[in-house]
């Protein structure tokens, strides 16, 4: 099932590539994401096109090309569902969805479907921190010991900045076996026990600090979700409110992001949504839509829509949420992995149509890509419900990113760090 909508004002931009296969691998290789094995899709509902709902002629990668790129991600078996939106100058210019919301019923993906955004939550949390910096309520180079005394070994040598850009060296709690879905035994335990467990932030930090650090603070980049759990705790210490309350007060309500929420323990995805799945050894897809996200917090618990995410990205990069000095700090990159870089909850993606800024994210059953140009004028948000990562599915996802971002598909890539 494919539905697309084109809007007035769309124009062509030629591309020579974007994030490509690295993004697909990243979306399926970190923590609870796992590398998802092949799964059979309901061929009829997933591949039969619905009537095209073009509102007006388009000149941004023709709607037919956008629709084809979207549908290919599903038809190749890479995802049970995929959604995408392109926004320009404050207005959506194209929106589409393909696949099915539920493999059991074959129901189509509903309009405005919500989804778990995984690590894109980090950009929301980082924005709050940078706002607090602008208010002179904390400093990026303050030691975390100042805000969380005694919680993290060597906390006097680890800075807030190092948490935000993943150079703290602190162990990634999602690498702990209790969060694994690799192998049938681990997956079954997580399905029956792990995904229902409520974790307090302190408990998550204790899981991480029970393991030796990856490196000395500032020595190297190493992705760790623990960093952002600590960021949430620092936000609460500085403001007297939870990180969710601050994100709601500072970002969600001012931008009127009606489909966005930052749950603490609620396991459901509220409102219309597509189900998320993990492949079992038997070949069956396990429905993992319902999950207590308390362990992830500001590292990955968020829920949103493509419309809300593009609006958020536009507001961030156009300077509506941060002053120039704080936005510049957020954009400062450190070397990450595979030639990529990482900022303060924000990554730079070189493209043929200029630099794009955003983040990828993933949690069991869901993957997200959000990026926009440096001026905050053009944004792309993609949500997929991954089933299988292969060379073929990677190529289809590369084509979708190229086509939505710059207007054509060329397959050039740039590295994407972990989620």
User: 119 catalytic, yes or no?
Assistant: yes
Tell me the C-alpha to C-alpha distance, in Å, between residue 343 and each of 17, 108, 113, 300, 371. Answer: 22, 37, 29, 17, 14
C-alpha count within 13 angstroms, C-beta hemisphere, residue 132 = 27
Residue 173, C-beta contacts closer than 8 angstroms, at least 6 positions apart: 179, 204, 205, 207, 208, 224, 225, 226, 229, 295
* Structure tokens, 145: 């010991």
Q: Where is 99: in which H helix or E strand?
A: strand 91-99
Q: Which residue has the tokens 């694994």?
A: 180
Nearest-angstrom CA–CA distance, 246 and 74: 37
The pair phi, psi for residue 297, each rounded to 5°, is 50, -130
- Positive or negative torsion for Cα 154, 155, 160, 163: positive
Nearest-angstrom CA–CA distance, 354 and 42: 39
Which is catalytic among the residues 79, 80, 119, 394?
Answer: 119
Please identify every residue annotated as catalytic. 119
């Amino acid at each position: 099932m494919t539905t697309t909508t084109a809007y007035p004002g769309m124009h062509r931009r030629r591309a020579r590539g974007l994030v490509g296969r690295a993004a697909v691998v990243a979306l399926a290789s970190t923590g609870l994401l796992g590398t998802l094995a092949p799964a059979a899709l309901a061929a009829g509902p997933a591949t039969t096109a619905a009537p095209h709902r073009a509102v007006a002629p388009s000149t941004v990668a023709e709607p037919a090309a956008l629709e084809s790129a979207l549908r290919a991600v599903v038809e190749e078996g890479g995802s049970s569902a995929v959604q995408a939106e392109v926004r320009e100058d404050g207005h959506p210019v194209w929106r589409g969805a393909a696949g099915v919301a539920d493999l059991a019923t074959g129901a189509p993906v509903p309009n405005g479907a919500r989804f778990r955004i995984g690590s894109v939550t980090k950009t929301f949390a980082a924005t709050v921190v940078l706002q607090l910096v602008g208010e002179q309520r904390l400093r990026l180079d303050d030691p975390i010991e100042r805000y969380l005394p005694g919680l993290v070994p060597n906390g006097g040598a680890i800075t807030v900045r190092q948490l935000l850009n993943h150079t703290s060296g602190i162990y990634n709690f999602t690498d702990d076996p209790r969060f694994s879905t690799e192998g049938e035994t681990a997956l079954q335990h997580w399905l029956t026990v792990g995904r229902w467990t409520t974790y307090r932030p302190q408990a998550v930090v204790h899981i991480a600090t029970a393991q030796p650090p990856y490196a000395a603070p500032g020595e190297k980049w190493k992705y760790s979700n623990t960093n952002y759990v600590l960021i949430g705790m620092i936000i609460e210490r500085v403001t007297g409110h939870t990180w969710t309350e601050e994100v709601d007060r500072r970002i969600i309500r001012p931008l009127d992001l009606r489909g966005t929420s930052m749950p603490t323990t609620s396991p459901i995805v509220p409102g219309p949504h597509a189900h998320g799945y993990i492949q079992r050894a038997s070949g069956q897809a396990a429905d993992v839509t319902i999950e207590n996200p308390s362990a992830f917090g500001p590292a990955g618990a968020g829920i949103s829509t493509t419309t809300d995410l593009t609006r958020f990205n536009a507001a961030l990069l156009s300077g509506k949420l941060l002053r120039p000095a704080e936005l510049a700090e957020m954009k400062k990159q450190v070397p990450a992995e595979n030639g990529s870089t990482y900022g303060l909850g924000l990554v730079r993606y070189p493209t043929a149509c200029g630099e794009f800024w955003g983040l990828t994210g993933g949690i069991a059953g869901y993957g997200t890509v959000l990026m926009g140009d440096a001026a905050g004028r053009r944004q792309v948000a993609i949500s997929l419900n991954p089933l299988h990562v292969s060379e073929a599915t990677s190529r289809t996802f590369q084509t979708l990113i190229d086509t939505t971002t710059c207007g054509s598909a060329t397959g050039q890539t740039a590295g994407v760090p972990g989620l």
